[in-house]
Chains A and B, each alone.
Chain A
Amino acid sequence: MKILVSLAAVGVLFLVGLLGGTGTVPEAIFGVILPYAAVAVLLGGLAYRVLSWANAPVPFRITTTCGQEKSLPWIKQAKLDNPSSAAGVVGRMLLEVLCFRSLLRDVKARLLEGGKLVYGTSLWLWLGALAFHWSMLVILLRHLRLFTSPAPSWVGFLAKMDGFLDAGVPVFYITSVVFLAALAYLLLRRLLDPQVRYISLAEDYFLLFLLLGIGLSGFCLRHVAKTDVAAITELAAGLAQFRPALPASVAPLFFGHLFLVCVLAAYLPFSKVVHLAGVFLSPTRNLANNNRMARHVNPWDYPVKTHSYEAYENEWREKMKAAGVPVDKE
């Protein structure tokens, strides 16, 4: 049910986008107004999200330590998995964000017949997630050449590296395939792993279908329909320079692709995709484990009711004296 609703939603959205390209509605709506609106929602929404996290205080330093602490000088500290300095934290965060350090630890637990528990290294999720995120980043950067003319040289270099197989016309990009394959893996995993399927919400499927829709339509635009790139560049560059122009010869498929991208951008701040910013604010990872070295201040700390020594001694004084425990008041 969740799955079908999500798939149908993406399908309908795609059709709406196609419709935008067939001339039944003014193309300016799908080509200009919606992209601007989507980017505005994306930036505004994401800023709101990040500020709402950043404005909430961090009352306690609750680092999750994944290695040896800094203690005696002759004991080797795990400086990245249990950092005690700002540099260590930066290193830990870079490993987390760029290499998915924590996922790399993944092990699968299995209970065998006879009650033996075994743990097996499981790198598939790490590999799939890494392939998906990195290829998406490369694809996003490659798209920059549509917005700027001439494109920055590093974008050209990136595209060249990505297309080093040098097969097909136009050149086939590796990330196009990796992106779709990784998404397919993530989707299959969600569908076939009974535990992951059980925890999945409609949102999880919707995002996967949405990304698959974007990826597939993009793939078709490049390799199947072979759209007029010049026209799209004109549109994109116009948008980027706030001088929107609508070229005549853009295929409806492109509007389907663009509309799904707009939906993703506008939906992002309200979805789990905010983890792209949230990971930086995760207090178990972005704080140094230097709790005993430097005091962490809780900005909203307040006095609490405690049981004072005086009250304690008042209750037990005679017994304490009889037992030979020193007291403050005889």
Chain B
Amino acid sequence: MAKPDEVAYYQREDLLKVDHHPPTTEWMETPVNFRPGSYIYPGKPKNLKILDLPNPREWAVADDDWKLPDNWREIIFEGMAERLKKYSSFRVFMDTCVRCGACADKCHFFIGGGDPKNMPVLRAELLRSVYRKDFTALGKVLGKLAGARELTVDVIKEWFYYFYQCTECRRCSVFCPLGIDTAEITMFARELLGLLGLYINWAIEPVANCYRFGNHLAIPPHGLVDTLDFMVDDIEEATGIKLEVPYNKKGAEVLFIPPSGDYVAAPGIYTCMGYMLMFHELGLDYTFSTYASEGGNFGLFTSHEMIKRLNAKIYAEAKRLGVRWILGGECGHMWRVLHQYMDTVNGPADFLEVPKSPITGTVFENARSSKVVHIMEFFADLIRHGKLKLDPSRNDHIRVTFHDSCNPARAMGILEEPRYVIRSVCNHFFEMPENTIREQTFCCGGGAGLGTDENMEMRLRGGLPRGNAVRYVQEKYGVNQLAAMCAIDRATLITVCDYWAPGVQVTGITELVANATVFRGEKKRTHNLRLEPIPGMEADEEGEENAHHE
């Protein structure tokens, strides 16, 4: 008998019985139903202690008593007052919503689940109602009639449930006529919950790991060396190329920052192998850092302060090593931090140089202040200048579609670069329907710290819109791979595809690039980086033209 944290527990027919009609009870009178499979376990006290966070203790979501501090109400009110003073966004987003409902069916959790509190407008009202009661004149006088309500323990529990059912994907903010960003509201709500010691372990453990080890997965320096050494062996088996991995190399030109998901789990590891192969081929003077071994930053899902605390190591390490500029790998939320926060929280990076590709001479003017370049910008420039020898037919067995990851799409706008790269290395590329890609892309359902198995029901429901679009191109074009430049996608979309579009595999883009690149000194390529035989290129007895390229 399957359990709620297992995919087998959920029948497709059951999940598809989504009722988008709201219940008869008003939302303020509808209590939270903490259903196993739809919420995430609390942060463990050891993780809170590592980070000096308040109120570390053992507690469980199903408990009546969440062991809040005695003065929890004051803490929340003071926390709200402080943030209203420090963030114009908080004030404006609390005051200006007109409840037009344009956002309602834009949230993947609402589409796939039907819970009205997953309509972005209601998610925000959960917080707004408390704001009205204590920070606005009308709310104080008119109370419920003005949409205001008392802050109670049940409200806190409701916040915990629904603000950890938001993946901060920002899709709703694209459609909002007032530009209200639910991700921002969720970030404030999570900060407030954090003041009471309410965290989810799936977010706060990576944060604690990242703080101590430099990466979410708690890989120590020697562990990283072992991990990448394994990949070096696999690379040699697939390509015949034996390469060296530079660690903490002082004076290197480029500091390379990947998401740590690419170190350990398939298919991310193949993209990591791709990074190393491509840099080797290009002769790029780069280095990994065991200390700044992660650009991903679950601080983004915790608090603004935590963004800064975890991100600080990147510029610090760039300075210590004396590199010229920084190159970032394929990750989604990491790029929101690198693009929208890093320069502000830990800049100015005046000790670095404006990034310039040593191979093409292109100066990345768009990164002249923060000095950090996205690997797809870097690759697109190389391909445009004809610096890579590509044989896309090696990917001919792949019929690929591209999933825009939320943050690169909506907090950066890197849309064409990955498409240009994919088209250059794959002959069979197919777009998903236009309402599901680019700035309207759908979340994988597991971002912002929600991609854990105990949250399986919500992951499958939230993954429905994406899965449905994948299924569409699978049936229409025979798509068999989905490319994504995000480590969380590469972990969570496997589950989503297996469930909603079985038969579609997940890949990183750099993996596709490396598989299509004709490397100097490579042996006849019969196997890809997954060490799977490449159809049409199997080792043959006749010993036809050998693919040695000098």
Contacts and interface: CB of A to CB of B under 8 A. Distances in A.
Interface of A: 2, 5, 49, 52-54, 56-72, 74-76, 78, 81-82, 84, 96, 100, 102-103, 105-109, 111, 114-117, 119, 125, 129, 193-204, 270-272, 274-275, 278-279, 281-286, 289, 291-298, 300-301, 304-309, 312-313, 315-316, 319-320, 322-326, 328
A117 B111 CA distance: 9
A309 B22 contact: no
B249 A326 contact: yes
B221 A2 contact: no
Nearest to B465: A117
Interface string B305-338: 1001100110011001000000000000000000
Interface of B: 12, 16, 18, 20-22, 26-27, 52, 84-92, 95-102, 104-106, 111, 116, 119, 121-122, 125, 136-138, 145-147, 170, 173-181, 184, 211-212, 214, 220-222, 225-226, 247-250, 290-291, 304-305, 308-309, 312-313, 316-317, 320, 339-341, 343-345, 347-348, 362, 364-370, 372, 377, 380-381, 384, 409-417, 420, 433, 435-436, 438-440, 464-465, 468-469
Contacts of A279: 96, 177-179
Nearest to B121: A199
Contacts of A320: 221-222, 290
B88 A281 contact: yes
Contacts of A328: 320
A293 B173 CA distance: 24
Given A5-B145, A291-B343, A308-B316, A62 B89 contact: yes
Given A53-B92, A279-B179, A201 B99 contact: yes
Nearest to A108: B105
Contacts of B339: 291-292
Contacts of A49: 95
Nearest to A109: B105
27 contacts: A53-B91, A56-B86, A56-B87, A56-B91, A59-B86, A62-B181, A68-B415, A102-B177, A103-B177, A109-B106, A117-B465, A194-B22, A198-B26, A199-B104, A202-B147, A204-B99, A272-B97, A282-B180, A292-B343, A294-B369, A295-B370, A304-B305, A306-B316, A316-B290, A320-B222, A325-B248, A326-B247
A129 B177 contact: yes
Given A61-B340, A75-B417, A105 B174 contact: yes
A202 B146 contact: yes
A304 B412 contact: no
A66 B96 CA distance: 21
Secondary structure call for the A interface: loop
Contacts of A322: 222
A52 B138 CA distance: 17
A292 B88 contact: no
B95 A96 contact: no
A306 B105 CA distance: 40
B21 A194 contact: yes
A286 B92 CA distance: 12
Given A65-B410, A117-B111, A105 B440 contact: yes
A56 B439 contact: no
A100 B176 CA distance: 10
B247 A289 contact: no
A61 B340 CA distance: 6
Contact of A198 (B27, B105, B440, B464): B27
Contact of B146 (A78, A103, A109, A203): A203
B374 to A, nearest CB: 8
Given A54-B88, A67-B415, A195-B119, A306 B309 contact: yes
A180 B131 CA distance: 33
Nearest to A320: B221
Contacts of A270: 136-138
A324 B518 CA distance: 31
Contacts of B291: 309, 312-313
Given A53-B92, A75-B380, A109-B111, A119 B435 contact: yes
B309 A305 contact: yes
Contacts of A116: 468
Contacts of B90: 56
Given A75-B417, A199-B119, A305-B309, A102 B369 contact: no
A201 B101 CA distance: 12
Contacts of B384: 72, 74
A72 B417 contact: yes
B172 to A, nearest CB: 10
Given A57-B86, A68-B413, A275-B96, 10 more contacts: A56-B91, A58-B87, A65-B413, A65-B439, A109-B465, A117-B469, A125-B101, A306-B313, A306-B316, A316-B290
A293 B309 contact: no
Contacts of A300: 86
Which 8 pairs of residues, A with B, have the shortest CB-CB distance?
Answer: A69-B413, A278-B96, A282-B179, A65-B413, A198-B22, A323-B222, A285-B179, A56-B88
B104 A195 contact: yes
A286 B343 CA distance: 19
Contact of A275 (B12, B86, B98): B98
A52 B91 contact: yes
B53 to A, nearest CB: 11
Given A119-B435, A293-B365, A106 B175 contact: yes
Contacts of A295: 343-344, 347-348, 369-370
